[in-house]
Structure 1
Amino acid sequence: MTAESTAGRRRGRPKKGKELQTDQIFEAAVACFAEFGFDKCSLRAIADRAGVDVALISYHYGSKLGLWTAVVDAVADDAMRQLKSCREASMDFPPQVKIHRLCIDLVSIINRRPLFSQLFISEIMTSSDTERRKIIEDKIARPVHDVLLRYILEIREGSEERKSDASLEIVAATSLISSIISSRDFLKRIIQVAEDDDRLIDELALIAQRILI
């Protein structure tokens, strides 16, 4: 084994092409990282929650960072697939309908994994770890933003003069949705709509639509 490959394994990267092995590991990893934060979360705690041997996680992902990276990869891949599907399904609709369907899908994507939204916000707001922040930027934040920007500009008929506005509006809309979804358990004490999944998605989609229109 070369020094370069050995160093790569020490940094905790998952094996190339290796995806999360089970839904249990994925859900347990997201829950533990969101609840305890990366530094205080252990592979053993994740393994116990997933009901698997910790050696299985170590074998497949090399380290805690390897598993964390695989989680980000899995969420990013799923989000990009759904956004692509939304665009393809809406190609023949008028602009207002395209925006509405995009916002519904965007809220639904985020709502599917509220704990990941909590993890995502925590990492970009409080973490000082530059490697994990860079992984989030490269694997999910920038790719999702860029595909949304292209789609929004396409809906607006390629209006370049509004490109900078659209970029900020996308950040505002996705940040708002993520913040509300990740704090939903608390918000149930304050606003009734947070208790109704379908209504919450509809209301958030309308708010996002007003931002992006």
Structure 2
Amino acid sequence: MIDDKRGQERGRGRPRRGEGHDRKGLLEVALACFADSGFENTSLRTIATRARVDVALISYHYGSKLGLWTEVVASVGEESRARLAGFLSECEGRGDRERIAHVSARIVDMMSEKPQFARLMVAEMIGAEDEARSEVIETRLVRPMLALLLPLLGEEGRDSNEQAPDGALRLIASFVMGGLVISTRPFLSRLTPVASDEVRLQAVVSMLMTRLLSA
């Protein structure tokens, strides 16, 4: 009888330490919710309902909505950095332009796999009203990616008096451009036939990114 009572109390309280949960599945649902409705208009209860988990489990593992949002960004950031390192190793020994074209194409492929994340990040950067979320994007996503990709552009050999934008600006501009186009493809297809063909659109975005990064 005592054991039953303890079990009932535990069921009403926080999840047991170490209780398993589908982290990847939960983060994917959270990403979709944040991308569809924005941070402010998304509740943990909505995420829990769509993920088919108890909201207490989310609070236990991530602490708050910001904690869960941070984990979404950090998770995609870690995966992206690992893949970017792979893209760079794939084109070692090639010429600068060829390397930039290869990495640009692979980045566009990566964006196309997660258009919701691209849409979320573009919206956050445009709004840029919440200091905590902006800092997460800067430290957990953008700066680590810049550190990986800046050597690709050969900035150390560029004359500081040249009029071309620096590498960081070109990289950020290419990310924003690519993310915006990829994440708004359904709307763009109403305006241009290129957007109706996903493969063709990716090729065009890759070409534009290559030109921007090679400037």
Tell me whether the two structures share a fold, i.e. TM-score over 0.5. Answer: yes
**Are residue 24 (structure 1) and residue 25 (structure 2) matched?**
yes
Identity over aligned pairs, percent: 35
Q: Which runs of 4+ in 1 moved over 4 A?
A: none
Corresponding residue of 1:106: 107
**Are residue 206 (structure 1) and residue 207 (structure 2) matched?**
yes
Corresponding residue of 2:54: 53
Partner of 1:38, secondary structure, is coil
Gaps of at least 5 residues in structure 1 are: 1-19
Q: Distance in 1 between matches of 2:169 and 2:31?
A: 28
Q: Distance in 2 between matches of 1:127 and 1:169?
A: 20
Question: After superposition, what is the alpha-carbon deviation per residue over 1:28-57, rounded to whole angstroms, capped at 9, x for unaligned?
Answer: 111111122111211110111112222221
Corresponding residue of 1:8: none
TM-score when scaled to structure 1? 0.83
Map 1:10-89 onto structure 2 (within 5 A).
21-89=22-90
TM-score when scaled to structure 2? 0.82
Q: Distance in 2 between matches of 1:87 and 1:168?
A: 20
Q: Distance in 2 between matches of 1:205 and 1:150?
A: 19
Q: Distance in 2 between matches of 1:140 and 1:111?
A: 17
Question: How far did residue 115 of structure 1 move?
Answer: 1.0
Q: Distance in 2 between matches of 1:105 and 1:186?
A: 23
Partner of 2:39, secondary structure, is helix
Contact 2:35–2:117 under 8 Å retained in 1: yes
Q: Distance in 2 between matches of 1:172 and 1:68?
A: 24
Question: RMSD over aligned Cα, in angstroms?
Answer: 1.9
Q: Which amino acid aligns with 2:52?
A: G
Contact 2:96–2:152 under 8 Å retained in 1: no
**Are residue 161 (structure 1) and residue 159 (structure 2) matched?**
yes
Q: Distance in 1 between matches of 2:83 and 2:137?
A: 18
Question: After superposition, what is the alpha-carbon deviation per residue over 1:109-149, rounded to whole angstroms, capped at 9, x for unaligned?
Answer: 22221111111112121141111111111110121123211
**Are residue 147 (structure 1) and residue 145 (structure 2) matched?**
no
Question: After superposition, what is the alpha-carbon deviation per residue over 1:67-124, rounded to whole angstroms, capped at 9, x for unaligned?
Answer: 1010001110011011100111111222222111111011112222111111111212
Q: Distance in 1 between matches of 2:168 and 2:66?
A: 30
Q: Which amino acid aligns with 2:102?
A: R
